[in-house]
Amino acid sequence: MKTILITGAAGGVTTMLRPLLRPFYRLRLSDRVAVPSPTVDEDVVQAELGDLSALRRVVAGVDGIVHFGGYSREADWATIHDANIVGAYNVFEAARLEGVKRIVFASSNHVVGFYPRTQTMPIEVTVRPDSRYGLSKAFGEALGSLYADKYGLEVLSIRIGHVLPKPFDKRRLAIWISARDLAQLVRIGLEHPEIRNQVIYGMSDNKRAWWDNSNAFRLGYKPVDRSEDYAAEAIAADRDTTGDPRADLNQGGEFCIAETM
């Protein structure tokens, strides 16, 4: 069984992913805070993403890294810089120095959040970040490109939509992904022999999607969940309108206007 490091293992999304990945991998879990309810098979190590030497010890000997660590919403520059810019750099650098070839990077839809909702987009578009957070995820994708081209790492960046048991508004009907569909994409990122530096969207089989996810389908992705099953409830909730057209008309929603969250 391969050993896989999950960074940010105390987070909500990684907590949903752990039981879905455990049947296939020996999991090493890292976070700066305590990881909830580790099983006897999970190896927990506390580490700060800002500490490269500590990270080198954490990644040493693993077969792949699933990097979800960092800050997952909009915040002030110091927070984003330390957690997502320095943090992502250190993860890629630790991988290179310790000879770990595979990285699955948790990117975000907020890399392209200032595209209008009327546009259906392939992956190969110029980034239009909607926040310092989105900008930091674009930096992470660019790190993947550099480390693949220059050092031969194999990197899958997933522009994740929104991971929750079910989508709760119209925007999320377009971008939602279930935990099991995301786990499938993570496994593709860890296993697929043709990964060099690929970027894909992380969404389920969503009828109202804004993204063309051909890149993921080419790698064999077959989503099993559909946001449309929750459409009536999400539309009735009527949570979408902020009154600011930047948020209401663009894909990134409230990230297009928020300064912190």
Residues belonging to the active site: 133
Q: Dihedral sign, CA of 51, 52, 57, 60? A: positive
Site stretch for ligand 15L (CB under 6 A), options 52-60, 104-112, 119-127, 191-199: 104-112
Residue type, 137: K
CB-nearer residue toward ligand 15L: 184 or 250: 250
> Which phi-psi region, left, alpha or beta, contains residue 70 (left: φ > 0; alpha: ψ -120 to 50)?
left
CB-nearer residue toward ligand 15L: 162 or 187: 162
Asked if 162 interacts with ligand 15L (CB under 6 A), we say yes
In angstroms, the CA 171 to CA 252 distance is 9
Supply 135's token pair: 């900008």
CB-nearer residue toward ligand 15L: 54 or 121: 121
Q: Binding ligand 15L by CB under 6 A: which of 14, 30, 84, 109?
A: 109
Asked if 18 interacts with ligand 15L (CB under 6 A), we say no
Asked if 128 interacts with ligand 15L (CB under 6 A), we say no
Tell me the site size for ligand 15L, rule CB under 6 A. 6
CB-nearer residue toward ligand 15L: 62 or 213: 213
x/- letters, 27..56, toward ligand 15L (CB under 6 A): ------------------------------
Asked if 73 interacts with ligand 15L (CB under 6 A), we say yes
Supply 117's token pair: 């909702």
In angstroms, the CA 101 to CA 148 distance is 9
3-class secondary structure, 93: helix
Question: In b/e form, how buried is each residue of 148-176, taking b as 16+ CB within 10 angstroms?
Answer: beeeebbbbbbbbbbbeeebbbbbbbbbb
Least Cα distance to 118 among 251, 227, 257 occurs for 251
Site stretch for ligand 15L (CB under 6 A), options 106-114, 118-126, 197-205, 238-246: 106-114
Q: Which residues bind ligand 15L (CB under 6 A)?
A: 72-73, 108-110, 162
